[in-house]
């Protein structure tokens, strides 16, 4: 031991540093080579998992949009006055002996023509609905030239179930159905009871048929290379797949994949060797379906070989460079090092403007200059980071606007088109006027700050349009004190919160509820309250919504969090959002703003 210490003591400081650096670098490069394969594979799998997860979320959102559109058409058709009159005449003909009866029933040619014209507006090619059947109160299936109603009678029967008095559309699972001119096909059926608007009597039931290929087209357009998508129902049957031969089969048996039965989204690998698969599942709660993505691991990790070669090449280059730098650094390590260390100690005390005064053409001079350049860059990056933090909330708000406006425009135009097709011209004009008012105010000549009065009119226009679409789900009230209408508010502050109340509050509860907007002055600030008696939230969800960072909570958390961050950015941490909620009962969000004239 003494001999080794003596040997080390006899080596110059330059060589000590050089040898130490070489040993450290060699160990580091060796360790990196050992774990490079594992690390690169994990990074590739993580990237594929994230991409697939985002794709499944997009598929789920598109599926929700499609199903909501089909349900909207069923509600619109069930409330169409022409269909109601035709079915009510048939009801009187067969159920009210003392009532004034029409000359003929549904077999009358003009009556069948009326129903055909009504139904033709909401089937292909105008919509994604393949065909429609009608079951009258007299247990008669009406044939209007699209669906095979004799087949429908054998499939659905002639009676009404216990749920026929509900106001909600009811979806079947995947079924075989026969069309008059195309034969049998795989379809989903959604049925809706027709209730007479004046008498409240059940006068019939409508059945809308959507082909499985329409559902499958949602995920077939942008599917992963080498991957497969499936939609599985609550019983584990495959109800949609790219390979149609797998339909109706048990998913575990057909695909050899086991889905967790806890109802939560999951990602995991299954199998081994060439059969190993990356599996991701997303739950589609409205119909208790599960969307499954299965990607072979060999497709995901095909890039690993190239990455390993790149890592080895970079490691060798780094090792060569390290040898050269270590040799140069070890040549002169006396007084310049201490001077540089002194400068570093001053910077650690908070004197960020201090720079090394050592200047030379040797390696330490180069290090001193590099250190000064690095500190200049760090100082610049710190200033840039402060500016980025200021604009972060604004960027999130712009992103929210870019999502809201096209989505809202699309849904509103779809509603107006549906109203026009059904001959509801006045309602279509009203919807168009509200849409025009919404966009007129939301544009506001490029101003991001508007008056509370303008924000309320914008929100009212949005609510009126949503009420046209979801009349069975929602009602709303607005009560704003006049003395706060002239004060300023960031544009589109209320709309994301109101939208969240409708889509993630009232709709999830599946019964009619209310959205209440109130505003008042409280001391030296303004409080605007949005209340809904919908599905509510758990405490951790409510806390995540107003968090300044992190992953947005499910159920509309991104939009609300963007609003909260933007208010704090504009006015300070004293202002923002306060969330109060009880799961299954209500949600109340209070917006606190300063008293600032527009």
CB 535 within 8 Å of CB 584: yes
Cα gap 416→568, rounded to integer Å: 38
387-390 own/partner pairs: CB under 8 Å, 24+ apart: 390/569
Q: How many Cα atoms sit within 13 Å of 465 on the Cβ side?
A: 28
Q: Could you please report the per-residue DSSP string of 34-84? A: HHHHHHHHHHHHHHHHHHHHHHHHHHHHHHHHHHHHHHHHHHHHHT-HHHH
E-state strands within 219-360: 228-232, 238-241, 266-270, 277-284, 289-296
Question: Is this prediction's pTM over 0.75?
Answer: no
Q: Which of 501, 488, 475, 478 is nearest to 560 (CA)?
A: 501
Q: Which of 198, 178, 77 is nearest to 134 (CA)?
A: 77
For the chain, where do the domains classified as CATH 3.30.565.10 start and end?
388-594
Cα gap 559→566, rounded to integer Å: 11
For the chain, where do the domains classified as CATH 3.30.450 start and end?
79-215
What are the phi and psi torsion angles at 242 (to 5°)? Answer: -70, -35
- Chain centre to alpha carbon of residue 180: 39
Q: Which two tokens stand for residue 289?
A: 């379906």
Which DSSP letter does residue 505 get?
Answer: I
CATH 3.40.50.720 given to domain 388-594: no
CATH 3.30.450 given to domain 79-215: yes
SS3 346: helix
CB 520 within 8 Å of CB 484: yes
Cα gap 353→351, rounded to integer Å: 6
Q: pLDDT 10s digit of each residue in the chain, 598 long?
A: 565 555 555 565 566 676 777 777 777 777 776 776 677 777 777 888 888 888 888 989 999 999 999 999 888 888 888 888 888 887 887 766 554 444 444 445 666 677 777 787 888 888 888 888 888 888 888 766 678 888 888 888 876 544 455 678 989 889 999 988 888 999 999 999 888 888 888 888 889 999 999 998 888 765 555 678 999 998 889 999 988 899 999 988 888 888 887 778 888 888 777 778 888 998 988 888 999 988 888 777 666 666 667 777 777 777 777 777 776 666 556 566 767 777 777 777 777 777 776 777 766 677 777 777 877 788 777 777 656 656 665 555 555 454 445 666 777 777 788 778 878 778 888 878 878 788 777 776 667 788 999 999 989 988 888 888 887 878 899 999 999 999 999 888 898 899 888 888 888 887 888 999 999 999 889 999 999 998 888 888 888 777 655 444 444 566 788 788 888 888 888 898 989 988 888 999 999 999 888 7
């Amino acid at each position: 031991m003494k001999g080794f210490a003596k040997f080390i003591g006899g080596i110059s400081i330059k060589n000590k540093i050089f040898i130490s650096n070489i040993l450290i670098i060699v160990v580091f490069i060796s360790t990196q080579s050992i774990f490079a394969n594992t690390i690169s594979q994990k990074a590739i799998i993580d990237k594929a998992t994230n991409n697939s997860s985002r794709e499944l979320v997009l598929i789920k959102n598109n599926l929700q949009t499609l199903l909501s559109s089909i349900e909207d058409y069923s509600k619109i058709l069930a409330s169409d006055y022409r269909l109601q009159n035709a079915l009510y005449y048939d009801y009187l003909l067969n159920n009210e002996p003392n009532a004034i009866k029409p000359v003929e029933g549904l077999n009358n040619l003009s009556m069948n023509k009326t129903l055909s014209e009504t139904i033709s507006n909401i089937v292909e090619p105008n919509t994604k609905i393949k065909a429609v059947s009608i079951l009258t109160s007299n247990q008669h299936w009406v044939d209007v030239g699209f669906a095979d109603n004799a087949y429908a009678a054998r499939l659905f029967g002639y009676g009404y179930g216990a749920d026929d008095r509900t106001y909600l559309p009811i979806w079947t699972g995947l079924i075989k159905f026969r069309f008059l001119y195309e034969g049998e096909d795989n379809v989903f059926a959604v049925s809706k009871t027709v209730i007479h608007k004046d008498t409240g009597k059940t006068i019939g039931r409508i059945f809308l048929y959507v082909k499985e290929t329409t559902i499958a087209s949602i995920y077939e357009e942008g599917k992963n290379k080498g991957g497969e998508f499936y939609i599985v129902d609550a019983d584990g049957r495959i109800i949609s797949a790219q390979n149609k031969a797998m339909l109706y089969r048990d998913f575990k048996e057909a695909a050899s994949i086991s889905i967790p039965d806890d109802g939560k989204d999951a990602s995991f690998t299954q199998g081994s060797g060439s059969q190993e698969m990356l599996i991701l599942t997303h739950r589609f709660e409205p119909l208790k379906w599960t969307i499954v993505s299965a990607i072979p691991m060999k497709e995901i990790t095909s890039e690993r070989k190239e990455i390993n070669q790149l890592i080895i090449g970079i490691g060798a280059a780094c090792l060569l460079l390290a040898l050269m730098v270590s040799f140069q650094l070890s040549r002169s390590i006396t007084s310049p090092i201490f001077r540089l260390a002194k400068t570093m100690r001053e910077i650690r005390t908070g004197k960020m403007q201090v720079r090394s005064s050592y200047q030379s053409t040797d390696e330490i001079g180069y290090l001193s200059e590099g250190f000064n350049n690095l500190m200049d860059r760090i100082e610049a990056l710190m200033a840039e980071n402060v500016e980025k933090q200021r604009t972060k909330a604004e960027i999130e708000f712009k992103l929210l606007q870019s999502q809201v406006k096209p989505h809202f425009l699309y849904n509103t135009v779809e509603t107006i088109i549906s109203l026009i097709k059904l001959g509801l011209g006045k309602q279509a004009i009203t919807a168009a006027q509200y849409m025009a008012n919404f966009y007129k105010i939301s544009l506001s000549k490029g101003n991001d700050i508007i008056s509370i009065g303008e924000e309320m009119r914008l929100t009212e226009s949005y609510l009126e349009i949503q009420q046209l679409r979801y009349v069975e789900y929602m009602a709303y009230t607005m009560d704003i004190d006049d003395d706060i209408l002239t004060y300023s508010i960031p544009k589109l502050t209320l709309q994301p919160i109101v939208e969240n109340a409708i889509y993630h509050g009232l709709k999830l509860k599946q019964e009619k509820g209310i959205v209440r907007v109130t505003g008042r002055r409280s001391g030296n600030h303004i409080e605007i309250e949005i209340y809904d008696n919908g599905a509510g939230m758990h405490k951790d969800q409510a806390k995540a919504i107003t968090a300044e960072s992190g992953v947005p909570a499910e159920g509309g958390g991104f939009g609300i969090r963007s609003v909260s961050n933007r208010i704090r950015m504009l006015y300070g941490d004293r202002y923002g959002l306060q969330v109060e909620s009880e799961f299954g009962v209500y949600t109340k969000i209070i917006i606190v703003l300063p008293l600032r004239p527009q």
